[in-house]
Amino acid sequence: MFYRLSGVHYDSFASDSRIFKVPADRNLAVFFLLFGLAAPFIIPSLYLNSYMLPWLLWTAAALGLNLVTGWAGQLHLGYAAVMAVGAYSAVHAVRFGVPWEFALLIGGLASSVIGSLFAFAALRVKGLYLALTTLAMQFVMDWVLNHSPTISGGSHASLQSPTFALLGQEITSDVGYYYVGFGWCVLVTILMLNLKRTGLGRALVAVREKDFAAAILGVNSFYYKILAFATSSFIAGVSGALLVATFFFLAAPEQFSVGVSIQVLAMVIVGGLSSIIGSYFGVALILLAPGLVNGLVVAASGGLGMQVTDETLAHIPNAIYGALIVIILLIEPLGLGKLYGNVRDYLMVWPFDQLRK
Amino acid sequence: MTKNNQTTTHVGDGALLECSGIERRFGGIVAVTGVDFVIRPGEIFGLVGPNGSGKTTLTNAITGFYPPNEGTVRLAGKDIAGTAPHKVAKLGIARTFQNLALFNGMSVLDNILLGRHIYMKPGVLRTALYWWAAQREEIENREIVEEVIEFLQLESIRHELVDGLPIGLKKRVELARALVAEPKMLILDEPMAGMNQEEKGYMARFILDARAERGVSVLLIEHHMDVIIGICDRMLALNYGEMIASGLPRDVVNDPRVIETYIGGAHG
């Protein structure tokens, strides 16, 4: 009901191409931005650090994968490997004496270079073959991390991350970490929002939909695929480095294993391909639902006075969480973002829903 | 007679597109061979032939999808045979496809804006810094797109997704996308396939207006002979990949070989 298009008029092309055309969308965005800024004063420190921070950082990472998989349409199964490159390069750079600002940039660029070098080879094939090739990249990276002590400290080892600092200011508090993650997530989100209304975004979608038609319009599909890989790898690298610097505090190969790659892909798909708000929802579901479901199951079994063995208790949340993903994708194959879009479209014309197209 | 005078005034001298000795083979199959023709600036040039006669292969040879095995393609005197499709666009050739090639999931406006891609410089940083680095370029191109939207009367659907449009409108959106690239040479592959008489009339009028107002030359592939005869200055007929007739439409359609190809010969 508060979503309304009526009464919204444009008198210039600039206002017609604004990001949020519905006033309610704009107000919601401003509200969540302010909420994000005020969160440390509202949300207890424990939740801020164990839920909000990882949510924002993984959302930034998922948006990067969404760029290459959702927008450019290239299936990527080695995303965690690219994050690992960024994380390890940044941590090594800092240990070498480089300030964190530059280390993050180095991490992003290293990921970008390795990601696009790999894409150069991988993009000779399409579709499932590309997916398998990116999976190979993941395994190569796993192997390198486990077999080169100079990078990872050897198998089963971990690399301590030096104290995080920005602009000469050491950041050690939960609030500080939160704002760093929040800032990065906002930056990535702005890039993605602008992608929806610029030539780059259109070119990527053109490459995804029909590459021959894109070609005759002058879009060099190989170039744009590489550009998509390079950009998404940069986002992955910085996100990986920030995860290590503000959340894990140490880098270990398991943090960037093949399982993590699949998990990020699940976040993007459950959230909805090429949906920005969907990535936020998808990450929330994949990252936070297991914990929530676990808490609910424990509370329910306790409340009902049932005797549930620890083993069962460990498996029930996983089963529910898996079922949740299947149910969501059955209801709306385009993911949570589309589900939200449906509700929004309905409310846009409510109570005159017979006007809906 | 007046009609002929009217149409021929647009046609200049010289050659805009000059194809000579074009041959394209797929394995042992010769899809097109020995095709020569010249399209003059401002000319609407018809290309007809039964299914499988090599019309689309010929356009694919010109636009770089299947470079010709032999022969030359000259655009304004410059040999472009074998140029990759994404470079052909920058040289001033635009085309539409027989089986619609619009980008689903995008609005009509975004589809048409893609036609301006060759005039834009999309980049990651420019996208991130939209307000300072990209907005002006987007708006400048939007203005040109809006001219064409008005020209082709697409104002009411510009924000709709292309997925659900009827085929007549889809074909018009595709024509708009080709026109905003401001091409010298426009290749239309069956722009009226699947249309009713009224939609055909609209499309024929749009093609004539595009030539008159925007000065494009048109290579028009069509099966509707009434359209070809009605709007083309000259034409070419293909059969089994070979030229069987070329020249003025009324001469070509009366050529015995063309009649035999379309209606069948008198046996016995």
Q: Give me the CATH number covering residue B47.
A: 3.40.50.300
Q: Are residues B126 and B61 in the same domain?
A: no
- Per-residue pLDDT tens for A162-192? 888 888 788 888 899 999 999 999 999 999 9
pLDDT attached to residue B3: 46
Nearest chain B residue (CA) to A234: B124
Domain boundary among B182, B206, B239: B182
Nearest chain A residue (CA) to B186: A216
- Residue A34 scores a pLDDT above 50: yes
pLDDT attached to residue B165: 92
Q: Chain B: give the shortest CA distance to residue A330, in Å.
A: 20
Cross-chain residue pair A190–B65, CB shorter than 8 Å: no
User: Which neighbouring-strand residues pair with B19?
Assistant: B37, B73
Which of B 59-98 lie inside 8 A of A, CB atoms?
A: 63, 65, 84-90, 94-95, 97
Cross-chain residue pair A218–B89, CB shorter than 8 Å: yes
Residue in the structure block whose two tokens are 């040109």: B144
Q: Are residues B5 and B69 in the same domain?
A: yes
pLDDT attached to residue A310: 74
Cross-chain residue pair A190–B128, CB shorter than 8 Å: yes
Share of chain A above pLDDT 90, in %: 45
Q: Chain A: give the shortest CA distance to residue B1, in Å.
A: 38
CA distances from B89 to A214, A215, A287 (A): 10, 8, 46
Please state, in angstroms and rounded to a whole number, the distance separating the CA atoms of residues A199 and B75.
28
pLDDT attached to residue B1: 39
- Per-residue pLDDT tens for B52-104? 899 999 999 999 999 999 999 999 888 999 899 999 999 999 999 988 899 99
Q: How far is CA A35 from the centre of its chain?
A: 20
Is B62 domain-assigned? yes
Q: Are residues B18 and B117 in the same domain?
A: no
Domain boundary among B147, B164, B182: B182
pLDDT attached to residue A8: 77
A12, A209, A217 member nearest B105 (Cβ)? A209
Is B200 domain-assigned? yes
- Residue A75 scores a pLDDT above 50: yes
Q: Are residues B69 and B188 in the same domain?
A: yes
Average pLDDT, chain B: 89
B113, B117, B128 member nearest A218 (Cβ)? B117
Q: Are residues B75 and B178 in the same domain?
A: no
Is B97 domain-assigned? no
A187, A218, A221 member nearest B118 (Cβ)? A218
Please state, in angstroms and rounded to a whole number, the distance separating the CA atoms of residues A104 and A87.
8
Is B146 domain-assigned? yes
Query: Do A237 and A175 touch, CB atoms closer than 8 A?
Result: no
Cross-chain residue pair B86–A220, CB shorter than 8 Å: yes
Is B191 domain-assigned? yes
Is B204 domain-assigned? yes
Q: Are residues B214 and B139 in the same domain?
A: no
Q: Chain A: give the shortest CA distance to residue B261, in Å.
A: 32
Q: Which two tokens stand for residue A215?
A: 């070609």
- Per-residue pLDDT tens for B151-201? 999 999 999 999 999 988 999 999 999 999 999 999 999 999 888 888 899
The total number of structural domains that make up chain B: 2
* Confidence (pTM): 0.90
Q: Which two tokens stand for residue B205?
A: 């009028």
B12 touches chain A (CB under 8 A): no
Split at pLDDT 50, 70, 90, the class of B9 is low
B126 touches chain A (CB under 8 A): yes
Q: Are residues B16 and B127 in the same domain?
A: no
Q: Chain B: give the shortest CA distance to residue A284, in Å.
A: 25
Cross-chain residue pair B106–A205, CB shorter than 8 Å: yes
Average pLDDT, chain A: 87
pLDDT attached to residue B266: 59
pLDDT attached to residue A206: 94
Split at pLDDT 50, 70, 90, the class of B4 is very low
Nearest chain A residue (CA) to B87: A218
Share of chain B above pLDDT 70, in %: 95
- Which residues in chain B have their CB less than 8 angstroms from residue A218's CB? 86-87, 89-90, 117-118, 181
Q: Chain A: give the shortest CA distance to residue B230, in Å.
A: 28
pLDDT attached to residue B63: 93
Is B263 domain-assigned? yes
pLDDT attached to residue A155: 59
Helix, strand and coil percent figures for chain A, each rounded to 5: 75, 0, 20
Q: What are phi and psi of A148, to 5 degrees?
A: -125, 95
- Full domain range(s) for residue B70: 1-92+183-268
Query: Do A165 and A100 touch, CB atoms closer than 8 A?
Result: yes
Cross-chain residue pair A14–B102, CB shorter than 8 Å: no
Q: Are residues B127 and B23 in the same domain?
A: no
Cross-chain residue pair A203–B95, CB shorter than 8 Å: no
B65, B116, B127 member nearest A212 (Cβ)? B65
Q: Are residues B85 and B125 in the same domain?
A: no
Q: Are residues B162 and B209 in the same domain?
A: no
Amino acid letter, residue A137: M
Split at pLDDT 50, 70, 90, the class of A357 is low
B146 touches chain A (CB under 8 A): yes
Which of B 200-219 lie inside 8 A of A, CB atoms?
A: none
Least reliable range by pLDDT among A119-123, A268-272, B203-207: A119-123
Split at pLDDT 50, 70, 90, the class of B6 is very low
Q: Are residues B155 and B173 in the same domain?
A: yes
pLDDT attached to residue B194: 84
- Per-residue pLDDT tens for A209-251? 998 899 999 999 999 999 999 999 999 999 999 999 999 888 8
Query: Read out DSSP for B142-196?
Result: HHHHHHHHHHTT-GGGTTSBGGGS-HHHHHHHHHHHHHTT--SEEEEESTTTT--
- Per-residue pLDDT tens for B18-50? 999 999 999 889 999 999 999 999 999 999 999
Cross-chain residue pair A213–B101, CB shorter than 8 Å: yes
Strands B44-48, B234-239: pairing kind: parallel
- Which residues in chain B have their CB less than 8 angstroms from residue A206's CB? 103, 114, 117
Is B196 domain-assigned? yes
- Preferred mutation among B60, B86, B158 to probe A, highest tally of A CBs within 10 A: B86
Domain boundary among B182, B205, B233: B182
- Which residues in chain B have their CB less than 8 angstroms from residue A205's CB? 103, 105-106, 110
Q: Are residues B36 and B71 in the same domain?
A: yes
B6 touches chain A (CB under 8 A): no
